[in-house]
A and B are shown apart, each in its own frame.
Chain A
Amino acid sequence: MALMNLIGAINHTLDYEMGRDESVVVFGEDVGLEGGVFRATVGLQEKYGAKRCFDTPIAEAAIVGTAVGMAINGLKPVAEIQFSGFAYPAFNQIISHVARMRNRTRGQRNLPLVIRMPHGGGIKALEHHSESLDTLLGHIPGLKVVTPSTPYDAKGLLLSAIRDEDPVIFLEPSKIYRAFRQEVPEDDYTIPLGKAKVLKQGTDVTVVTWGAYVHEVLKADKILQEEGINAEIIDLRTISPIDGETIIDSVQKTGRFVVIHEAAKSFGPGAELIALVNEGAFLYLEAPPTRLAGFDVTIPLPRGEHHYFLDADRMAAGIRKVVRY
């Protein structure tokens, strides 16, 4: 066991798996010599050499495109996109090839690759550094989209992602990279992809969220507890494929449902989850299932971002409304 923050856990996990499996290669912009702009890959080039951990030119399409080739030719590439807001040039590769190769070749060519990216907002950064790609990526059949909310989960989920036989997009909430430390086992453990986690049992309302918002929701929960509201809180952990079962079981118990995400509201994962709840627990509902999400606008620059991102008070207000409906 060692105390690690989230970025430290990512670094440790990459190190661990590169040490265990020679086919794992790690690359991206500023990933090699500098060890990543967030220091996720620090020390890896020194330890494993520039053949297995290296800097690339600035070219996201080629970063993902070469990962496809490497994966077909026996490696397990873990590519880094410097910020999820710079993934767009790679979308042609992600949508047209990463997501489809298995299906296109009738299972002959699968892509055991991982694309990691810092994700989400609230870090007072320049334009395009606060993006939420949940909606865009979640919509593409063939991708697994995973996002951890703790250092412990980061390791377990990333190990599963690297060992998975299908492509995984690993969204790392940059806001909480260094927010807190947690005991993380140094030995092997995995957390299954596609499984949500019930963080707290409750009876009055089911609240689902993921990424950095998990911690804000836990704060909101403290506010609500003082008012006697007992929420069940679920960390989705994998955005796609979605764990409908855990959520529906919970809503059947609580009768109320709130989903909270950073991405803009319209057409977002909240809409998908509410559809699932309607399909699977309609007769149990005592209030309209509700989304608390980003406004349908471009994510504001730092001076305005506190209006866009929900804090615990606003989350509590939204949940309270559903409970009191």
Chain B
Amino acid sequence: MKKPDEHDSHDQSHEHTHDKDMCRRYLGSLSDYVDGTLGDELCEELEAHISVCENCRVVVDTLGKTVTLYHQLPSPELPDAVKSRLYTVLDLTAYVPESRTGSEEDGQ
């Protein structure tokens, strides 16, 4: 695991020449980078940039982590009561599938 201060040595010399325009230029590529769909050339440029720009390195890592955390967010279930009202509204009560007994956690 990386610690936030591991790259500090790079940063000192970089700080005052920190080129916000450069960072802004890469902003539009970060989402594609995280998805692995960024073109090779831009990808190399971006990787070169984040090797010297700690802020962008953190943004890239935490952006990827944000997406991963949302992928892991548990999905809400369709409660049985909502499902049964749906079949009623749609006039399909004859086709209600066998209720899954014992799934109380659905009920909220």
| B and A form one assembly | no
